[in-house]
């Protein structure tokens, strides 16, 4: 198992290319189940989660091919084709490793009229039930049964009827599953209080390119007129706003000057606003975002929220940044109840953080110190990297397989802007 060794103190300067969005790609891939024609995804990031999802797709008879792949390239072009669905069961051994696997439920149900999917796994960041997924699918005509750790869903008569569902709370995954199921229903579905994340917009745009009829894209209310057949399409995955925000925090904590090439400022408004409140200069357009910092960071109060609020996936990175701010900051995590597992590891590096429930009080310190730390989940891993870049001495980050799930060739990108970071085998 690999580990990362980081010698802190270098000011980051230069350009980092931003990859395709992991959270979007994991939703776009299962769209291939909705048609017998090829679906080609461009700018697909090279990540463990993407590879795992493609492996899951082969379970259903989906073929995939990679065009012009070169080891030195970031991203790749992958064509998926489900000429016919050979199997509608997603087994535990494949699903347990990745929570996003539940996203095959909606499209399998829409295409095959039935689906059996194991209850999912993924990062241990708190209880993330799938009840909203199931209630939304029931509302548009599915019959649901839970048995022996599996969800068994069927469409009476082989096709969902469509229907209305008002989400009691905003749920990204449940919105995605409901949308993918509704696009091939026999009637119209109206989904209200849906998630509005840019990744949802990306999903709807691909589905429309495939022939779906969706109204209200980007709003909290979607009207989906079911169609009998969808066609293939070629589509470019949106840039990863969480990756871009993570590197922006890395630049800020080192007093750096970094251009995030390919990042889209309109998707990152909450992150950019938070950075400005901390004293970081940040500006951008639809092609790139520029970050300028002088090393003088100000304390602030932040709270995560559904889009357009500050993403929960950015909470850990901002916590590391605030460890070096002048004064005391307060962070509130409103999405997940167990997303402070990085706090003990940051404390090993000299951070002063107090947590009570979903609130963290971060007292800025003059200096962070290198230490041996262990990653607990994907975004917590990145928070340790960010802290290590500003720490005195050497930091060793273990269990970096978490990072490989969501950051494409992280150490190479950080080396491009002057970080002293290397990956080595963990003895």
Residues catalogued as catalytic = 123
- Is position 168 annotated in a ligand binding site? no
- Is position 66 annotated in a ligand binding site? no
- Is position 23 annotated in a ligand binding site? yes
Q: In what side-by-side order are the strands of the sheet with 150-154?
A: 89-90, 114-118, 150-154, 143-147
- Is position 22 annotated in a ligand binding site? yes
- Is position 398 annotated in a ligand binding site? no
Q: Where are the beta strands (DSSP E) in 168-298?
A: 188-192, 213-215, 221-225, 233-236, 257-261, 281-284, 288-292
CA distance 274 to 270: 6
Q: Pick the closest to residue 177 from 81, 99, 92 (CA basis).
A: 99
| SS3 of residue 172 by DSSP | helix
- Is position 321 annotated in a ligand binding site? no
Which pair of structure tokens corresponds to residue 315?
Answer: 């909470």
- Is position 128 annotated in a ligand binding site? yes
Q: Pick the closest to residue 373 from 394, 404, 352 (CA basis).
A: 394
By the 8 A CB rule, do 49 and 406 touch?
yes
Q: In what side-by-side order are the strands of the sheet with 213-215?
A: 164-166, 188-192, 221-225, 213-215
- Is position 130 annotated in a ligand binding site? yes
- Is position 242 annotated in a ligand binding site? no
- Is position 264 annotated in a ligand binding site? no
Residue with tokens 């009840």: 131
Which pair of structure tokens corresponds to residue 197?
Answer: 């994340």
| SS3 of residue 218 by DSSP | coil
Binding residue ranges for phosphoenolpyruvate? 22-23
Binding-site residues sit at 22-23, 99, 128-132, 313, 335
The annotation places the binding site for UDP-N-acetyl-alpha-D-glucosamine at 99, 128-132, 313, 335
């Amino acid at each position: 198992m690999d580990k990362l060794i980081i010698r802190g103190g270098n000011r980051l300067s230069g350009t980092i290319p931003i990859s395709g969005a992991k959270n979007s790609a994991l939703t776009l891939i299962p769209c291939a189940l909705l048609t017998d024609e090829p679906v080609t995804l461009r700018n697909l990031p090279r990540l463990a989660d993407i590879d795992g999802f493609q492996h899951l797709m082969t379970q259903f008879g989906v073929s995939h091919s990679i065009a012009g792949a070169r080891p030195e390239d970031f991203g790749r072009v992958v064509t998926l084709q489900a000429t016919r669905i050979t199997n509608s069961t997603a087994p535990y051994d494949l699903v347990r490793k990745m929570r996003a696997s539940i996203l095959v439920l909606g499209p399998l149900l829409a295409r095959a009229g039935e689906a059996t999917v194991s209850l999912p796994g993924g990062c241990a960041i708190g209880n993330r039930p799938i009840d909203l997924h199931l209630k939304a699918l029931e509302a548009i005509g599915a019959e649901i049964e839970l048995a022996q750790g599996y969800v068994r869903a069927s469409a009476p008569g082989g096709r969902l009827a469509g229907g209305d569902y008002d989400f009691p709370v905003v749920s990204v995954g449940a919105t995605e599953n409901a949308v993918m199921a509704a696009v091939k229903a026999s009637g119209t579905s109206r989904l209200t209080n849906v998630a509005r994340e840019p990744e949802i917009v990306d999903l709807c745009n691909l589905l429309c390119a495939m022939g779906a009829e969706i109204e209200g894209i980007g709003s909290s209310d979607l009207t989906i007129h079911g169609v009998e057949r969808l066609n293939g399409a070629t589509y470019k995955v949106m840039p990863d706003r969480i990756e871009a925000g993570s590197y922006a925090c890395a630049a800020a904590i080192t007093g750096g000057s970094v251009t995030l090439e390919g990042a889209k400022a309109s998707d990152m408004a909450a992150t950019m606003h938070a950075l400005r409140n901390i004293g970081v200069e940040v500006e951008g357009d639809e092609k790139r975002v520029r970050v300028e910092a002088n090393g003088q960071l100000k304390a602030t109060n932040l709270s995560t929220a559904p889009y357009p609020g500050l993403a929960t996936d950015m909470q850990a990175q901002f916590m590391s940044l605030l460890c070096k701010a002048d004064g005391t900051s307060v962070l509130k995590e409103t999405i997940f109840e167990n997303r402070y597992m990085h706090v003990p590891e940051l404390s090993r590096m000299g951070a002063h953080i107090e947590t009570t429930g979903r609130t963290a009080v971060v007292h800025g310190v003059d200096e962070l110190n290198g230490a041996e730390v262990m990653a607990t989940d994907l975004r917590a891993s990145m928070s340790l990297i960010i802290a290590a870049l500003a720490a005195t001495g050497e930091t060793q980050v273990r269990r970096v397989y978490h990072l490989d799930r969501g950051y494409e060739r992280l150490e190479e990108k950080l080396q491009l802007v002057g970080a002293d970071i290397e990956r080595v085998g963990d003895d």
